[in-house]
Chain A
């Protein structure tokens, strides 16, 4: 937590391609890493999360990988569809709190 950097800020892919979004964090004690999807005018929606006792987690077309040594985690979306178009945020816990520090977001556009 505390400092979370997210790249890229925008990502455009063709329908059916894969998309990868990467985040780094500064607090080595962080142990929980959620990803949120936010459509225009809507609330952030939790799409997947990972805890530090596992290195990868998958849910259908979405997967998250975690490298604790390098302090980075990534979101992978396979077989992208136009409805995947949204802003995606990574997050990590604030030190000592059950609140979150968010990355700056990635605007994903899936071209049909």
Chain B
């Protein structure tokens, strides 16, 4: 296992609601990246946080937002949920001086 944890494991929401997903990075890692993985596809980059600042964003709308805390844990917030937001949300942590990313177990979000 990688030492990266995520909560909750599963979540069911209805369209229009808001959701917050959480990630604890591996000890010593100061960078957290969030990915969305739709069924049967590869992970798609949402955004990355480095030392509490957003450090790059993929092609996702502003209703996807995030935070990183002083202990380098992170949150992903999604507002105004849409059916297409149903996916596995993965966070990955890395240290600032390497490209190697280690994934958490993911949060399975279902939007009804």
Q: Which of A99, A102, A103, A104 has the most CB of B within 10 A?
A: A99
Interface band, chain A: 20 to 34
Q: Which of these, A44, A97, A105, contacts B90 with CB under 8 Å?
A: A44
Cα distance A94–B92 when bound, in Å? 14
Chain B CB within 8 A of A11 CB: no
Chain A CB within 8 A of B84 CB: no
Q: Which of these, B31, B33, B55, B106, contacts A43 with CB under 8 Å?
A: B106
Q: Are B48 and A45 in contact (CB under 8 A)?
A: no
Inside 8 A of B33's CB, which chain A residues have their CB?
98-100
Cα distance A46–B99 when bound, in Å? 12
Count of chain A to chain B residue pairs whose CB atoms are closer than 8 Å in the complex: 63
Inside 8 A of B44's CB, which chain A residues have their CB?
102
Chain B CB within 8 A of A73 CB: no
**Shortest distance in angstroms between B55's beta carbon and chain A's nearest beta carbon?**
7
**Shortest distance in angstroms between A104's beta carbon and chain B's nearest beta carbon?**
5
Chain B CB within 8 A of A25 CB: no
Within 8 A of A (CB), among B8-50: 31, 33, 35, 40-45, 48, 50
Q: Which of these, B43, B56, B94, B106, contacts A102 with CB under 8 Å?
A: B43
Q: Are B56 and A97 in contact (CB under 8 A)?
A: yes
Q: Which residue of B lies closest to A94 (CB)?
A: B45
Chain B CB within 8 A of A112 CB: no
Q: Are A100 and B103 in contact (CB under 8 A)?
A: no
